[in-house]
């Protein structure tokens, strides 16, 4: 019989409910080692916990106090999706309660907060811990990763990883916590989107030794939602250029933009090499592109993909794959690894990768604010 992992959810907002959807349709996946069951939920906002009570029959505990959820012996693992300033308080408490953790990015609002989380991880080695990042689970992204791993790229010319949003182009969009430095963190858009763009480069071993960064706060004020105007302090857009010394040395360009005209939620990765190149963007979610060059014609090939997912599913291979599917695949990777598997070869972001992200973003913030090139100080 499939093993059941009993989950508590702390933070029932946007992402908490996405997990509920992934778990509710676990039957979509074939031959999984284990399945998640949400037994406890916690949020300060009771309308959100009411949503869980109405829609998730397995929920037995509803609370506004996350300590009560952590005291529940029926909870094996916790998904925590709360604003960034709470990560370094709540994640260590989850580990101190002996629960496994999938924590949302950026895994602490800054490097100091991340170090506090890492200290708690080190103190509780029996707890299995990963950080959320779902977009590399698109089949097209997996194809790019497989292509890079399977052959010689030659000299790497450039790698660009981008996450582009456009909703902040609207100056009338009211402020929310992601535009507040004390809740989101001084990284601004980089804290919000940085782990998404770094997951694949870090997994492939491409760690920049130094970075420069162009930071933009295009809309320094926003409506407060109550008829007034408030300061919007966070960086809207960041373009980071890192220098990676492998493969003859190459630029790693990371774009984390919240003001990207025309892009609702475009995540992309593009790798250009002298022998082989590949790219994927969620703008064309079923296609990936690749080129192999041996001195002859330079021809990009485009392949239509369907539901050729890392974790096999009931959907036929010709049909489309989407955002909720990427999230479910990420959850499958987490649950599989927690249950002793290898996540079918592509595990969720590790705490070490999250810490490397912080080293890069800390250097990028400093570089962008002082218009300098900064060395990246990775944790030892």
Ligand X SMILES: NC(=O)c1ccc[n+]([C@@H]2O[C@H](COP(=O)([O-])OP(=O)(O)OC[C@H]3O[C@@H](n4cnc5c(N)ncnc54)[C@H](O)[C@@H]3O)[C@@H](O)[C@H]2O)c1
Positions touching ligand X (CB under 6 A) are: 10-15, 42-45, 48, 66, 81-84, 86, 104-105, 132, 134, 192
Q: Cα dist. 292→145, 147, 156 in Å?
A: 15, 10, 13
Shortest approach of ligand X to residue 319 CB, angstroms? 23
Shortest approach of ligand X to residue 80 CB, angstroms? 8
Q: Cα dist. 361→84, 193, 228, 347 in Å?
A: 15, 11, 32, 22
Report whether 240 contacts 203 (CB < 8 A): no
Report whether 107 contacts 194 (CB < 8 A): no
Q: In the complex with ligand X, which residue's Cβ is closer, 278 or 361? A: 361
Q: Which residue is nearest to ligand X (CB)?
A: 13
Q: In the complex with ligand X, which residue's Cβ is closer, 40 or 271? A: 40
315: nearest Cα among 10, 11, 30, 14: 30
- How far is the C-alpha of 183 from the C-alpha of 84, rounded, in Å? 6
Shortest approach of ligand X to residue 237 CB, angstroms? 17
Q: Give the end-to-end CA distance of the chain in Å, rounded to a whole number.
A: 42
Shortest approach of ligand X to residue 233 CB, angstroms? 17
Shortest approach of ligand X to residue 370 CB, angstroms? 26
Q: In the complex with ligand X, which residue's Cβ is closer, 193 or 272? A: 193
Q: In the complex with ligand X, which residue's Cβ is closer, 163 or 288? A: 163
SS3 57: coil
- How far is the C-alpha of 79 from the C-alpha of 279, rounded, in Å? 31
Q: In the complex with ligand X, which residue's Cβ is closer, 78 or 272? A: 78
Shortest approach of ligand X to residue 86 CB, angstroms? 6
Q: In the complex with ligand X, which residue's Cβ is closer, 194 or 368? A: 194
């Amino acid at each position: 019989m499939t093993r059941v992992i009993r989950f508590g959810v702390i933070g029932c907002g946007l992402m908490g409910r996405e997990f509920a959807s992934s778990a509710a349709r676990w039957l979509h996946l074939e031959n999984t080692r284990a399945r998640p069951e949400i037994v406890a939920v916690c949020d300060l906002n009771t309308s959100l916990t009411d949503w869980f009570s109405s829609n998730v029959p397995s929920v037995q505990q509803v609370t506004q106090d996350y300590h009560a959820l952590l005291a529940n012996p029926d909870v094996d693992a916790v998904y925590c999706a709360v604003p960034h300033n709470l990560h370094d308080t709540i994640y260590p408490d989850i580990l101190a309660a002996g629960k496994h953790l999938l924590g949302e990015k950026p895994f602490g609002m800054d490097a100091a907060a991340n170090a506090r989380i890492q200290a708690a991880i080190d103190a509780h080695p029996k707890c299995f811990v990963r950080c959320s990042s779902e977009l590399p689970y698109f089949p097209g992204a997996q194809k790019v990763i497989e292509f890079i791993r399977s052959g010689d790229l030659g000299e790497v010319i450039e790698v660009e990883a981008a996450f582009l949003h456009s909703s902040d182009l609207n100056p009338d969009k009211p402020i929310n916590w992601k535009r507040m430095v004390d809740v989101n963190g001084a990284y601004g858009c980089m804290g919000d989107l940085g782990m998404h763009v770094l997951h694949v480069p870090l997994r492939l071993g491409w760690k920049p030794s130094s970075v420069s960064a162009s930071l933009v706060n295009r809309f320094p004020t926003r409506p407060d939602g109550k008829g007034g105007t408030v300061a919007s302090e966070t960086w809207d857009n960041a373009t980071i250029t890192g220098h990676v010394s492998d493969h003859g040395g190459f630029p790693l360009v990371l774009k984390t933009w919240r003001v990207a005209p025309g892009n609702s939620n475009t995540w992309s990765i593009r790798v250009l090499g002298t022998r082989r190149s590949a790219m994927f963007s969620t703008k064309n979610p079923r296609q990936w592109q690749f080129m192999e060059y041996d001195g002859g014609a330079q021809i990009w090939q485009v392949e239509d993909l369907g539901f050729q997912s890392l974790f096999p599913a009931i959907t036929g291979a010709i049909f489309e794959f989407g955002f909720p599917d990427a999230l479910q695949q990420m959850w499958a990777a987490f649950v599989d690894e927690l249950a002793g598997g290898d996540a079918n070869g592509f595990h969720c972001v590790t705490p070490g990768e999250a810490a490397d992200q912080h080293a890069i973003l800390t250097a990028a913030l400093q570089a962008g604010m002082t218009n300098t090139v900064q060395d990246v100080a990775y944790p030892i």
